[in-house]
Chains A and B, each alone.
Chain A
Amino acid sequence: MTTSALPAALAEIVDDFQALEEAERLQLLLEFSRELPDPPARLQDHPELMEQVVECQSPLFLTIETESGDSGSAERVRLFFKAPPEAPTTRGFAGVLHEGLDGLSPAEILAVPDDMPEQLGLTRAITPLRMRGMTAMLGRIKRKVAELPQQG
């Protein structure tokens, strides 16, 4: 499996997962679930500003925002997720996508292959059914990025 098509941060995460035994991959996913940052207060207090990804087994809300890069030219996408602590698998998927995609350009995010979650090598340990939630999360992010107003 090649990770060459992935953005650098995401490729590194995929490599980290691939380097581990199956049981250890679950442990790594758990670490990502712990590292998922809470959304800022302005989103916490306004859940209606986030969208629910219904394909996830547990409630997962996400939204994206854009901000200008340093030179004011390139646009960067910021990702925000909200999932309860009793849903560590869902939080772990969100954590992987946050660390791998947050701050990238719209074009970089849109170029991520839809089947990227399968490259983590978790399908057997997590089951295909549970993996669908992560695929749906990535799909929702890409759809929201695609809907952004076109630049200049």
Chain B
Amino acid sequence: MPYPVEQNEKFAAYAHPERLVSTEWLAAALDAGALDGGKLVLVESDEDVLLYETGHIPGAVKIDWHTDLNDEVTRDYVDGAAFAALAAAKGISRDSTVVIYGDKSNWWAAYALWVFTLFGHEDVRLLDGGRDKWMAEGRPLTTDKPAGTPGDYPVVERNDAPIRAFKDDVLAHLGKPLIDVRSAEEYTGQRTHMPAYPEEGALRGGHIPTAASIPWARAAAEDGTYRNRGELEALYLDEAGLTPGDDVVAYCRIGERSSHTWFALKYLLGFDSVRNYDGSWTEWGNAVRVPIVKGADRGTVPVGK
């Protein structure tokens, strides 16, 4: 049985309010002993691999996007067996309600949630506002790691197709809406990596033809929470030009920032078909003979594509 869904006015306007919880809701759930027995499992997922160790929400377990969710050898996510082992070790069972939060407006938390969704984990939610909002409200943190009882998690094969796009899928998708969530400098091709971030080596700069530029953080408010439904519609419907029912692909550099946008489109605005292209610019910007547009214009689909 999933944990009860939060009811509030902001969430109620979203297409899938059951995908978010507020800090108030979480604090009350923790006080009520929600973490006992593994019915609800709280997961912290950050960019910085040591941030959890400096202090985390009491009872939270840590999942690192890079060392836990990525395959160590192939550029891919872990397989069903590795995910089952990870989930069980973190006290997660297949029917657990998982609430994920993290740093930087839940950027990495959304990425972890997307990977959970690849494995079809049914009830996985984000803590709106993430780690920073919890801390800004002066709520408790601890460095104690939960003792935790192992969960019971079956080996489930990943089902990538509904929410994950590969390079060939994107080539076939050209002509339908794409959202580029990187910075303006990356979109125009002025640079191939995030401002103030490591150069990850893309040989070409620019964007996928026709992609609309909506940097991911515009979906987040000052306090790290998602913007309300009206604001998100202004961003993605009015500005990017999406129409309800569109089949959309979002991408960034390695698929993390676009997970945050994927969540907004899929669960907050209710687009049924939204895929995250995790190969993103580190693949597209290095691939041979794929079309690229430089500059601020979206560009057009190449003739005879």
Contact = CB atoms under 8 A, between A and B. Distances in A.
User: How would you classify the secondary structure of chain A's contact residues: helix, strand, loop or mixed?
Assistant: helix
Given A54-B196, A54-B197, A57-B197, A30 B47 contact: no
Given A30-B53, A54-B196, A129 B66 contact: yes
A130 B197 CA distance: 10
B50 A88 contact: yes
B200 A129 contact: yes
Interface in B29-50: 47-50
Interface in A25-63: 26-27, 29-30, 33, 52, 54-59
Residue among B50, B54, B196, B200 with the most chain A CB within 10 A?
B50
Given A52-B196, A129-B200, A58 B48 contact: yes
A128 to B, nearest CB: 10
Interface in B42-81: 47-51, 53-54, 66-67, 72
Nearest to B65: A127
Contact of A89 (B50, B67, B196, B197): B50
A87 B197 CA distance: 13
A117 interface: no
A127 B66 contact: yes
Contacts of A89: 48-51
A140 interface: no
A132 B200 CA distance: 10
Contacts of A29: 50
A90 B72 CA distance: 22
B143 to A, nearest CB: 10
Nearest to B131: A86
10 contacts: A27-B53, A54-B197, A57-B47, A57-B198, A59-B196, A86-B103, A88-B48, A88-B50, A89-B49, A127-B49
Given A57-B197, A57-B198, A89-B49, 19 more contacts: A26-B49, A54-B196, A54-B197, A55-B199, A59-B196, A85-B54, A86-B51, A86-B54, A86-B103, A87-B48, A88-B48, A88-B50, A88-B51, A89-B50, A89-B51, A124-B72, A127-B49, A133-B198, A136-B198
Interface of A: 26-27, 29-30, 33, 52, 54-59, 85-90, 92, 124-127, 129-130, 132-133, 136
Interface of B: 47-51, 53-54, 66-67, 72, 103, 196-200
